[in-house]
């Protein structure tokens, strides 16, 4: 990791941390959840490797993360809030630049493409 990349990560992490503390500290989850989810998606987009591409199978993750985090604002049941919060966290984490489905530098296959190639061979094909 080069120094400019590390500095960008440090600045964005500090910014996200300060905004998260201002938005979440002494407040209930509500409209602040989708705002923070959008902020995390923007930070992940800014920090992604230059030559990374979003796999077609992963294009649903950011809108789903935003939709589920937006549902936190309208839910009143604590169980549904917990489920929505957990699902939003999983979807936000799955969309990180090094998650399965993102193409890594150097042309290494992603987890999705390796899964597709092994499953297309079919059972008992010896691959």
pTM summary value:
0.69
Q: Who contacts 95 (Cβ-Cβ below 8 Å, separation ≥6)?
A: 41, 44, 58, 61, 62, 65
Q: What is the pLDDT along the chain (127 residues), one digit of tens a residue?
A: 788 888 988 998 899 899 988 888 888 888 888 999 999 888 888 888 777 777 788 888 889 999 999 998 888 788 988 999 899 989 888 876 554 444 545 554 444 554 455 555 555 555 4
Task: Say how far apart CA 51 and CA 57 lie, in whole Å.
Answer: 18
pLDDT at 44: 84
**Which candidate, 23, 16, 26, 28, places its Cα nearest to that of 75?**
28
Domain ranges of the chain: 30-104
Give tens-digit pLDDT for 15-51. 989 998 888 888 888 888 899 999 988 888 888 877 7
Residues 6+ apart with CB under 8 A from 71: 84
């Amino acid at each position: 990791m080069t120094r400019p990349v590390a500095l960008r990560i440090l600045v964005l992490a500090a910014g996200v941390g300060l905004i998260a503390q201002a938005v979440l500290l002494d407040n209930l989850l509500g409209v602040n959840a989708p705002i923070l989810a959008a902020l995390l998606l923007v930070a992940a987009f800014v920090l992604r490797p230059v030559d990374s591409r979003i796999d077609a199978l992963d294009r649903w993750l950011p809108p789903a993360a935003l939709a589920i985090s937006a549902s936190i604002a309208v839910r009143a049941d604590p169980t549904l809030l917990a489920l929505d919060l957990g699902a939003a966290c999983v979807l936000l984490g799955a969309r990180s630049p090094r998650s399965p489905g993102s193409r890594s530098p150097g042309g290494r296959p992603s987890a999705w493409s390796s899964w597709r190639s092994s499953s297309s061979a079919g059972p008992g094909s010896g691959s």
